[in-house]
Amino acid sequence: MNYHLDLRERVINWVINGNSRLSASQVFKVHYNNTVKAWVTSCKNTGEYAALPRERPKRGKVNEEELRQEISTLPDSFQSELAYQRKKTWN
């Protein structure tokens, strides 16, 4: 769940001003462990209120010509078998 940056700032400032993280979770109605604790820790580590952008793994697209060639050499293979063969060659 994404929260507005304003809420994140208020929660972090609440804790920085001497209030407990547990009271912040109760006052602002957000989860203690997964939200308040993580926000405060992240702010202390980075100095930023905003969440860090998530990095997504980059996946390469399958070369269509190579795939056609593999299928023509192994026409009776299941898709899972072809995927296993590709995985072996990529690693």
Cα dihedral 37, 13, 5, 57, rounded to 10, equals -40
- Tens digits of residue pLDDT in 4-53: 999 999 999 999 999 999 999 999 999 988 899 999 999 999 999 998 88
| Predicted TM-score of the model (pTM) | 0.58
DSSP codes of every residue in 27-56 = HHT--IIIIIIHHHHHHHHHS-SSPPPPPP
10 and 39 within one domain: yes
Does 51 map to a domain?
Answer: no
Look at residue 13 and tell me if it is in a domain: yes
Domain co-membership, 9 together with 42:
yes
Closest CA to 23 of 8, 38, 11, 34: 11
What pLDDT sits at residue 58?
A: 67
